Amino acid sequence: MTADLRILLVGGGGREHALAWKLAQSPLVEHIWVAPGNGGTARGLKNVENVSIDSADFPSLVNFAVEKGVNLVVPGPEQPLVDGIETQFRKVGIPCFGPSEAAARMEGSKTFSKDFMKKHNIPTAEYENFTSFEKAKAYVASVNHDVVIKASGLAAGKGVLLPTTKEEAYDALKEIMEDRAFGDAGDEVVIEELLEGDELSILALSDGYTAIDLPPAQDHKRIFDGDNGPNTGGMGTYAPAPVATAAIIDEIRKTIIQPTIDGMRKDGFPFVGMLFTGIMLTTAGPKVLEYNVRFGDPETQSILPLLSKDTDLAEIFLACAEHRLDAIDIKITKQFGVTVVGSAGGYPGSYKKNEKIVIDPLESDDTFIFHAGTSLTKEGQLVSAGGRVIAASAVADTLEEAVKKAYAGISKIHLNNMHYRKDIAYRAFRDVKTNGTKSGAPAFTYASAGVDIAEGNSLVERIKPVVKATARPGADAELGGFGGLFDLKAAGFKDALIVAATDGIGTKVKIAQASGINDTVGIDLVAMNVNDLIVQGAEPLMFLDYYACSKLEIDVAADFVKGVAEGCLRSGSALVGGETAEMPGIYHDGEYDAGGTAIGAVERGQTLPNFDAMAAGDVLLGLASDGVHSNGFSLVRKIIEHAGLKYTDSAPWDQSTTVQESLLTPTRIYVKSVLPAIKQQLILGMAHITGGGLLENTPRMLPKHLAASIDASTWDVLPVFKWLGKTGNVPKEDILQTLNLGIGMVVAAKADNVDKLKRILTSGGEKVFTIGKLVEAATGKPRCTVSNVEELY
């Protein structure tokens, strides 16, 4: 093999740096000139140098190529291709990896490409082309679907407008067609139906006959996290995107890529080069959003490092130019690639250039810094020279790992006011629905795998230890482990019955949301469930949570999971799974709701309540609550509002704390203190005091012939209840039915066992009161009476 390839690479972005990097590894390559290149191609790559010729200056490029004996031209960006660079080099006999001017119309003219797709039955959004403003307006008025308005010509990725109302659509048409916001590119517009779904970038190499697609990528076009803010050239990518399953890729090949390549050849403009198809995965199948006739930026930076080390990009480019791509073996590793783009502060608006850039040494061989808008000064200082300045790319065996490495990479780059998105690849993690079987942890613990790593404080890192700490004999609770499985024997059960309970937090979440304290309601969630299990005599073993919101806010979700994990710890449950649902429109902005399920077990014969053993004269013990717990918050919020209190005010019932902190005190979990007493069979029955208060919950543990007689003067009614009762002027009967008044759990026991039971519960940390006894039920009388209610407040 002789190294006689002399390549002229046209362009100067991150894509071109990545291309130069991969091409330079080819044993066929003797030399690469990059015109004009950037600070990354200026030094550091073997046999690569910049030549300062503008990519639009075809005569100079051709002269230079002829003079240097260039024998392969690789145009990077679309503009020179659309302007016919391929023809210029064909004329002087130098092969070009890139489409002809005719073929480049697939990107250069949206009306052209839409008409092409229609002709060849390639799935795409419904559309009409217009040159008349009035006709375009009339069309918008006539359709009853949302529209996308596109300037037909090249507009540097900015010529696509997504109006949300008809009025906005008319304004958009005026902007493009009358105000000429995109110049000539807007002489003609395409009005398309709005497609919804996940977007994919499919990059396929072609020689005009064969097409070979590279790993499917997803781009992040908006400037800010969560896909907010204006569009950019692309702020980060990852590949392969897990949404693109083998079946989807197969469908894309059969219905889109191959028909495109065949259609172009049949229509007389065969495609040679890189065909980059933007695809929307709609519910009706994959549909084409647009064609690009060149590599994507920053898709290329994530994809090229996935080609195996012995896959020779120069050989591939030559084979495409010589129409023999079917003879080439392209090997792709089974890894994931991730790219995080660093942009100049202000981009895509105005921004500064000529800012100094310093890059610390990288710690990993699998991490690459690809420059885009950088240049070297005469003194050899690296400075910024564009909006998208530089990117860190990394490959690893898992997407999570690759995200981590890419963020570690970008943290080595120092540039004043550099901006980068913290959520690259979040969609991939969002799309992994675990349901407790696949990963053993709520999906959002992955959702931000990359998010906070750059700040050294990633969500996964934050959650991992807390989730893992909930592991217990019988179940793992490790991220990525097999959750949802429980070995009852390993936990010491012999002949167990399974018990399950499910519940939510109620409107207490509203106080958490309003106050921004989100790390305690997860404890409430677990408490509400496990307290319902323990009253059946069951030991909680596993927990799964469900978190739903309009828009996933990573910090909030992370805090919430922390609370859930803490609740699991307090109750001895393994957090084995969960689900995050992001559902705009179902909840209001900034709101979330959560539910959960606890699963436990009890030995046969030990379930509670033990109706047969209960009799009149048995004693009722009350276990102190920690506050309002998770019931009655609709009433509580009304009273707080009526009193004109803000959640941040200091609590009138307890000056040492604020309203929000006091109200958010988590529901007490009674599991660990009560379990030993259950095992010693000292307990006849228990009632968890939730909605309905003492009056309605106590009878739930009693056989029909018994009733509860409770004396309200026997325990300390907590100050918060007194204040609520007084301030809200709440009738006593009403408050008894709504709030726990200081008793979170009622326990029935034989009088003989009370001392022993009290000792066990007290040593388990409970405050125990003897609050009443069981009596024979009388027909027509309530099953629970509370005396001395006047004393409440």
Q: Which residues bind ligand GLY (CB under 6 A)?
A: 219, 234, 292, 296-297, 299
The item of ligand AMP, ligand GLY, none sharing an interface with residue 297, based on CB under 5 to 8 Å by kind, is ligand GLY
What would the two tokens of residue 27 be? 């044993």
**Nearer residue to ligand AMP within complex by CB, 148 or 185:** 148
| Nearest-approach distance from CB 290 to ligand GLY, in angstroms | 8
What does residue 141 show for φ and ψ, rounded to 5 degrees?
A: -65, -30
**Nearer residue to ligand AMP within complex by CB, 221 or 265:** 221
Q: Is 452 in the site for ligand AMP (CB under 6 A)?
A: no
What does residue 620 show for φ and ψ, rounded to 5 degrees?
A: -105, 125
User: Which residue in 447, 240, 394 sits closest to 332, CA to CA?
Assistant: 240
Q: Is 235 in the site for ligand AMP (CB under 6 A)?
A: no
| Nearest-approach distance from CB 160 to ligand AMP, in angstroms | 4
Q: Is 466 in the site for ligand AMP (CB under 6 A)?
A: no
The item of ligand AMP, ligand GLY, none sharing an interface with residue 296, based on CB under 5 to 8 Å by kind, is ligand GLY
d(Cα 484, Cα 577) in Å, to the nearest integer?
A: 6
Q: Which helix (H) or strand (E) holds 115?
A: helix 110-119
Query: What CA–CA distances, in Å, run from 356 to 16, 334, 353, 369, 386?
Result: 22, 37, 9, 16, 12
Task: State the SS3 of 8-41.
Answer: EEEECCHHHHHHHHHHCCCCCEEEEEEEECCHHH
Helix, strand, coil percentages in the chain from 3-state DSSP, rounded to 5: 35, 25, 40
The item of ligand AMP, ligand GLY, none sharing an interface with residue 685, based on CB under 5 to 8 Å by kind, is none
Per the CB < 8 A criterion, the answer to whether 134 and 101 are in contact is no
Q: Is 148 in the site for ligand AMP (CB under 6 A)?
A: yes
User: Which residue in 58, 90, 166 sits closest to 321, CA to CA?
Assistant: 90
The item of ligand AMP, ligand GLY, none sharing an interface with residue 376, based on CB under 5 to 8 Å by kind, is none
Binds ligand AMP (CB under 6 A): choice among 194, 362, 497, 581: 194
The item of ligand AMP, ligand GLY, none sharing an interface with residue 194, based on CB under 5 to 8 Å by kind, is ligand AMP
**Nearer residue to ligand GLY within complex by CB, 188 or 219:** 219
Q: How many CB atoms lie within 10 A of CB 67?
A: 8
What would you report as the CA-atom Rg of the chain, rounded to the nearest whole angstrom? 34
**Nearer residue to ligand AMP within complex by CB, 193 or 401:** 193
Q: Applying CB under 6 A, which part among 188-196, 442-450, 665-673, 699-707 lies near ligand AMP?
A: 188-196
What does residue 189 show for φ and ψ, rounded to 5 degrees?
A: -125, 155
| Nearest-approach distance from CB 41 to ligand GLY, in angstroms | 18
574-582 and 539-549 as β-strands: parallel, antiparallel, unpaired? parallel
| Nearest-approach distance from CB 505 to ligand AMP, in angstroms | 36
DSSP class per residue in 623-659: EEPSSSTTS-HHHHHHHHHHTT--TTSEETTEEEEEH
User: By three-state DSSP, how is residue 368 classified?
Assistant: strand
Residues 202-221 that bind ligand AMP (CB under 6 A): 221
**Nearer residue to ligand AMP within complex by CB, 192 or 400:** 192
Q: Applying CB under 6 A, which part among 193-201, 317-325, 370-378, 741-749 lies near ligand AMP?
A: 193-201
Per the CB < 8 A criterion, the answer to whether 123 and 255 are in contact is yes
What does residue 216 show for φ and ψ, rounded to 5 degrees?
A: -65, 135
Q: Which helix (H) or strand (E) holds 391?
A: strand 388-396
Residues 154-173 that bind ligand AMP (CB under 6 A): 160
**Nearer residue to ligand AMP within complex by CB, 124 or 630:** 124
The item of ligand AMP, ligand GLY, none sharing an interface with residue 557, based on CB under 5 to 8 Å by kind, is none
Query: What CA–CA distances, in Å, run from 744 to 598, 698, 715, 718, 761?
Result: 19, 11, 12, 12, 14
The item of ligand AMP, ligand GLY, none sharing an interface with residue 299, based on CB under 5 to 8 Å by kind, is ligand GLY
Sign of CA dihedral 784, 785, 786, 790: positive
The item of ligand GLY, ligand AMP, none sharing an interface with residue 199, based on CB under 5 to 8 Å by kind, is ligand AMP
Residues 266-295 that bind ligand AMP (CB under 6 A): 278, 289-290
**Nearer residue to ligand AMP within complex by CB, 28 or 191:** 191
| Nearest-approach distance from CB 56 to ligand AMP, in angstroms | 21
Q: What is the separation of C-alpha 746 from the centre of its chain, rounded to a whole number of angstroms? A: 42
> Cis link prior to 609 (omega < 30° from 0)?
yes
| Nearest-approach distance from CB 290 to ligand AMP, in angstroms | 4
Per the CB < 8 A criterion, the answer to whether 205 and 316 are in contact is yes
d(Cα 18, Cα 6) in Å, to the nearest integer?
A: 17
Q: Is 229 in the site for ligand AMP (CB under 6 A)?
A: no
Would you give the binding string for ligand AMP spanning residues 118-147, x where CB under 6 A is met? -------x----------------------
The item of ligand GLY, ligand AMP, none sharing an interface with residue 452, based on CB under 5 to 8 Å by kind, is none
The item of ligand AMP, ligand GLY, none sharing an interface with residue 629, based on CB under 5 to 8 Å by kind, is none
| Nearest-approach distance from CB 265 to ligand AMP, in angstroms | 24
The item of ligand GLY, ligand AMP, none sharing an interface with residue 234, based on CB under 5 to 8 Å by kind, is ligand GLY
| Nearest-approach distance from CB 324 to ligand GLY, in angstroms | 27
Q: How many CB atoms lie within 10 A of CB 28?
A: 18
d(Cα 60, Cα 490) in Å, to the nearest integer?
A: 77
What would the two tokens of residue 476 be? 């793992």
Residues near ligand AMP (CB under 6 A), total: 12
Binding residues (CB under 6 A) for ligand AMP: these are 125, 148, 150, 160, 192, 194-195, 199, 221, 278, 289-290
